[in-house]
Amino acid sequence: MELSDFNCVPCASRTSYDFLPKKETVRDLIRLSDALEEKGVYVDLVTETVLMIQLEKKRISIFRNGKITVRDTPTKEEALATAEKLLRYL
């Protein structure tokens, strides 16, 4: 999975960015959570519909449909850099 597989759009909150998958996808968030924890990523919350993590002090939500939200990020460039780092773990 690469950054080019997503469309980056600002979230309505104006301090977050959504990365929407260009192709329909379904993710098993429980398994993904386990894999991320094994790689040292801090998991805040995991359900069947949303996985909330912290990666390098950034809060990120990963949804079952493949959408990723990078929270508390004021610039698109910063959100892109964070998403790129996350995708290396996936």
- The per-residue pLDDT string of the chain (90 residues; one tens digit each, 9 = 90 and over) reads 789 999 999 988 778 999 999 998 899 999 999 999 999 999 999 999 999 999 988 999 999 999 999 998 889 999 999 999 999 988
Q: Domains in the chain: how many in total? A: 1
The pLDDT score that the predictor gives to residue 13 is: 74
The pLDDT score that the predictor gives to residue 78 is: 94
Instruction: State the Cα–Cα distance between residues 71 and 69, nearest whole angstrom.
Output: 6
For residue 43, what are its two tokens?
Answer: 């998991």
The pLDDT score that the predictor gives to residue 12 is: 82
The pTM assigned to this predicted structure is 0.92
> How crowded is the C-beta side of 37, counted as CA atoms within 13 Å?
12
Q: In b/e form, how buried is each residue of 30-55, taking b as 16+ CB within 10 angstroms?
A: eebbeebeeeebeeeebeeeebbbeb
Print the domain residue range for 80: 3-89
CATH assignment of the domain containing 56 = 3.30.310.10
What is the residue whose two structure tokens read 């999975």?
1
